[in-house]
Amino acid sequence: MGGIALLAREHGHQVTGSDSNVYPPMSTMLAEQGVDIMQGFQSQDLPANADAIVVGNVMKRGLEVVEYMLDRNLPYISGPQWLGENILRDRWVLAVAGTHGKTTTSSMLAWILEYAGLKPGFLIGGVPENFGVSARLGDSPFFVVEADEYDTAFFDKRSKFVHYHPRTVILNNLEYDHADIFPNVEAIKTQFHHLMRTVPGSGLAVVNAQDANLRDTLAMGCWTPVETFADGDWRAEYLQADGSEFRVFCKGDEQGIVRWSLLGEHNVNNALAAIAAARHAGVPAAHAIAALAEFQGVKRRMQMRGQVRGVTVYDDFAHHPTAITTTLAGLRAKVGNARIVALLEPRSNTMRMGTHKAQLAASLQAADQVFLYQPQGLGWDLADVVDELGEKGCLLHDVDELAALVTQQAQAGDHILVMSNGGFGGIHDKLLVKLAV
């Protein structure tokens, strides 16, 4: 929604917005771009003369502001529909879908196109360091969009991505997630199938060859040429075990070597997908590989927040067991035998429901020590996960106490990995401040 606000403003509209808990980097970016934000959802914050009220999917029937809007017949539309009708129409849309890696892969793809001089527009669910903003209109036919399978709005329960009509689509992976709206993985496959129904025959689907759920999805119907990555048409030969250097092949032909700052098998696969999609838009693989050497990553995706007295603090968005596993594996490959201290706030709707409870301890095994934060209203007790972790696990209910305990036990050479898809009470700064004392 923050990115859509930026696009609307750049499109020439006056834009205001409201949210209950805006935190960096989105809050600071919106402020820098001159978008006024009001805290909370109040009916008086809806301008009486608004041409459109763009409704996010956090809004529900029964909320006073929603009932006010409906009672007065104010003009409203969902964010994805507004984007599709006002920004994406007549553009060459490159959409990145999947349970994991959407933000990073979208950022890579947008940067590759930018590096090639194509000046793409983009809407990304994070802030790519190469751009400093999460969205822009661009100055070419090309538009990169992070294509989310979450539902659109309280009045439109289709996945957001059915509004985008991509010509080029990346299907990164497909796992069970969003337990608050999908009863099982089959329901998610159906939504991905609906996405594939919108991709033209002259388009391209770039698909993870290792993902059985994606194979099932394509078997439901595919009318678009497919290129595969990860042991498919596009594959990598590792030159460094941590994924910081690898050789790229397309159908057996070497395309070049990526040397970059990112880590992990998941990011290598993200890169292969981005290279393939960019080639469909006319960027040779060699140019894409050169671009990735200058890719600076995404805020809150394995972002180093600081280093104090030999202790390094990272911020990562990981909130699903698979993402936690791959993030820790990438860091482990980088730091070797150095101590990794993992801090996790289970904040997503799926985490709050306890859907991945049984997989959580196993996903954290690569860490040497694990601190779990039990937020209010979680709905289930993290104590069972701590028991499964054994001596390496610790459970706390207060962010300040957690920061104090971690910094007391920190040693020079430690790598502290903070994982949450929210603000985590500003714990990153608390850790750095306490480490400096």
Task: Assess whether 285 and 317 both reside in one domain.
Answer: no
56 in the same domain as 95: no
Query: Does residue 338 share a domain with residue 279?
Result: no
Residues 35, 58: Cα–Cα separation, whole Å: 19
Is 390 found in the same domain as 268?
A: no
Domain end (from 266, 292, 318): 292
Q: Provide the phi-psi class of 401: left if phi over 0, else alpha when psi is between -120 and 50, else beta.
A: alpha
Residue-level pLDDT, tens digit, the chain, 437 residues:
889 999 999 999 999 999 887 777 778 888 888 888 888 898 988 888 899 999 998 899 999 999 999 999 999 999 999 999 999 999 999 999 999 889 999 999 999 999 999 999 999 988 899 998 899 999 999 999 999 999 999 999 999 999 999 999 999 999 888 778 888 999 999 999 999 999 999 999 999 999 999 999 999 999 999 999 998 999 999 999 889 999 999 999 999 999 998 888 889 999 999 999 999 999 999 999 999 999 988 877 778 889 888 999 999 877 678 888 888 988 888 888 999 999 988 877 666 666 777 888 899 998 999 999 988 777 778 888 888 898 898 998 899 999 999 998 898 999 999 988 777 888 888 999 988 88
Residues 166 and 257 in one domain: yes
93 and 137: one domain? yes
Q: In this predicted structure, what is the pLDDT of residue 342?
A: 93
Residues 260 and 160 occupy one common structural domain: yes
Q: Residue 420: which CATH number?
A: 3.90.190.20
What distances in angstroms separate CA 435 from CA 157, 313, 409, 417, 431, one per listed residue?
A: 46, 10, 10, 15, 6
Question: Cβ contacts of residue 144 below 8 Å, gap of 6+?
Answer: 94, 95, 96, 106, 109, 110, 113, 120, 121, 122, 123, 124
pLDDT at 220: 97
Does residue 64 form part of some domain?
yes
Alpha carbon distances (Å) from 24 to 56, 175, 406? 19, 28, 23
Give the Å distances, CA to CA, from 234 to 178, 250, 254, 285, 425.
Answer: 30, 5, 10, 11, 41
Residues 256 and 112 both lie in one domain: yes
Residue that terminates a domain, selected from 250, 266, 292: 292
Residue 321 has a pLDDT of 85
Are 348 and 232 found together in one domain? no
State the pTM of this model: 0.79
Strand, coil or helix: 163: helix
Domain closes at, from 76, 93, 122: 76
Position 353 scores a pLDDT of 67
Q: Is 247 helix (H, G, I), strand (E, B) or coil?
A: strand
Pairing verdict, β 92-97 and 36-39: unpaired
Residue 291: per-residue pLDDT: 97
Query: Does residue 121 sit in the same domain as residue 251?
Result: yes
CATH of the domain at 149: 3.40.1190.10
Domain region containing 36: 2-76
Residues 145 and 110: their CA atoms lie apart, in Å, by 9
| Domain count across the chain | 3
Is 392 a member of any domain?
yes
CATH number of the CATH domain containing 72: 3.40.50.720
Structure token digits, residue 25: 């980097």
Domain annotation covers residue 197: yes
Looking at the domain assignment, is residue 297 inside a domain? no
> 374 Cβ partners below 8 Å, 6+ apart?
381, 382, 395, 396, 397
SS3 letters for 288-318?
HHHHHCCCCCECCCCEEEEEECCEEEEEECC
Asked whether residue 47 falls in the same domain as residue 87, the answer is no
**Residue 298 placed within a domain:** no
Q: Quick one: 186 and 286 in the same domain?
A: yes
Residue 28 lies in a domain: yes
